[in-house]
Structure 1
Amino acid sequence: MILINLLPHRAEARRQRQKAFLAALGLAALAGLACAALGGLVLQQATERQRARNAYLGQAISRLEAQIREVALLQDEIDQLKARQQAVEKLQAERNLPVRLFEQLLAQTPEGVLLASLRMDGERVQLGGQARSNERISDFLRQLGQPGNTLHAPELLEIKLGGGAAAAAAGAVTPALRRPVDFSLRLQLPPAPGASAPAAAPRRSAS
């Protein structure tokens, strides 16, 4: 009977299996390290791309803010130009206003009414003078209240019997004026074109 000792072969096979296991473990470790390095590289690239996007968005936002500021400045300039245009239009509209005002008063002042003073305060006009009678004053108010006049909304402020220096001056101008009646009334001018609210105008007086 032949006896064969298998212990050395089993030990050799065990060593081979251990070597294979260690080699596989090493390969797995290398593969893990490679995957970790690759993941880190991908993450770094993604981070760099996101930073680039953020920088681009920051620059775009800065440009938009600059454009918004420019638009705001342009809007301010446009508003200033509109205000100047309205002021010019108002001056052009009011340039011939005194002439039209005096022409209207001359045409609508009835006989027996003497105007002694005229005062303008913004869009308000106050007239003062003397009349031969109360009926003359009523006629004057009706004439001023006609549609299409430059002056409108006549309002009688005061009426009283005349006397003193005013009556003497009126008698000197028109001797037919007997027992003169002093009166004062207020009228309105039309609003300036493009004006949304009555604007305060310099106070002027004429007599």
Structure 2
Amino acid sequence: MIRINLLPHREAKRKQKQAAFIAMLVLGGLLGASVVLAVGGWNASRIAIQEQRNTVLKTENAELDKKIKDIATLKEEINALKSRQQAVEDLQGDRNQPVYLFDELVRQAPDGVYLKGFEQDGQRVVLNGYAQSQERVAELLRNLSGNSPWLERPELTEVKSAVLTQDKIARKAVEFTLAVAIKRAREADETDVLGKASTTVAGSAAGAQP
């Protein structure tokens, strides 16, 4: 017996395929949305963690900046205290400068040189005097520039011929004006230490020679 199906089976299969396709599309969309949400959530969590780290770093940087400013302020205060201490020490040392000045002028002035006056302005002293000759003035300059632990950098500002009268006898002389710097006590000590060190090194080198 032959059976004949008169139902629209092709249309039914077509609808079935369309329904399956739509279901797959919906499933794919749901999967895609799930993946997007998962990736977005992961990225959001990572961004939140990084923002927390950035906040911590900013806080630490702010604290470091504050500490650096405190250190800089402390250094400025230390330098100011050192400057004040140095000023006090220099002031105490300057009290003895006239004594050192007179002593050095007596020591360094060669025979034939007569000092008639001087004027001190800070660490600079202007000397006026007479000498038997210009060679005596040159000798005085050499003594002040190299032999004195307290005086340095002499500068001859004026030299001219003069006539001195003593016991009604007129004698030719040289009148001079020079400026010289007077060292502070700490500077003189440093010069003395360096001079001793140089002498020791030179002595050692001379002793090492065959």
TM-score range, shorter chain: 0.5 to 0.7
The higher-RCO structure (CA 8 Å, 6+ apart) is 1
* Cα distance in 2 for residues equivalent to 1:178 and 1:52: 101
Identical positions, percent: 29
| Alpha-carbon RMSD | 3.9
* Cα distance in 1 for residues equivalent to 2:121 and 2:3: 138
* Cα distance in 2 for residues equivalent to 1:125 and 1:159: 22
The one-letter amino acid paired with 1:71 is I
- Whether the aligned pair in 2 keeps the contact of 1:124 and 1:186 (CA below 8 Å) is no
* Cα distance in 2 for residues equivalent to 1:137 and 1:40: 98
Q: Give the match for residue 70 of structure 1.
A: 70
The one-letter amino acid paired with 2:175 is F
**1:96 to 1:6, Cα distance in 2 relative to 1, 3 A:** same
Q: Write out aligned runs for 1:34-53 (5 A).
A: 34-53=34-53
Q: Give the match for residue 4 of structure 1.
A: 3
Question: Is 2:28 the counterpart of 1:28?
Answer: yes
* Cα distance in 2 for residues equivalent to 1:135 and 1:24: 124
Judging by fraction of residues, say which structure has more helix.
Answer: 2
The one-letter amino acid paired with 2:34 is A
Displaced runs of 4+ in structure 1, greater than 6 A?
Answer: 110-113
Report the alpha carbon displacement of residue 19 of structure 1 after superposing the two structures with TM. Answer: 4.4
The one-letter amino acid paired with 1:125 is V
* Cα distance in 2 for residues equivalent to 1:20 and 1:108: 120
* Cα distance in 2 for residues equivalent to 1:159 and 1:140: 12
- Whether the aligned pair in 1 keeps the contact of 2:159 and 2:177 (CA below 8 Å) is yes
Q: 1:186 aligns with which of 169, 178, 183?
A: 178
Judging by fraction of residues, say which structure has more strand.
Answer: 2
TM-score, normalised with respect to structure 1: 0.61
Q: Write out aligned runs for 1:147-166 (5 A).
A: 147-149=146-148, 150-151=150-151, 153=154, 155=156, 157-162=159-164
* Cα distance in 1 for residues equivalent to 2:168 and 2:72: 66
- Whether the aligned pair in 1 keeps the contact of 2:151 and 2:181 (CA below 8 Å) is yes
Q: What do residues 67-98 of structure 1 show as CA deviations (whole Å, max 9, x unaligned)?
A: 33223323323432443344345445433221
* Cα distance in 2 for residues equivalent to 1:13 and 1:158: 134
Greater CA radius of gyration, 1 or 2? 1
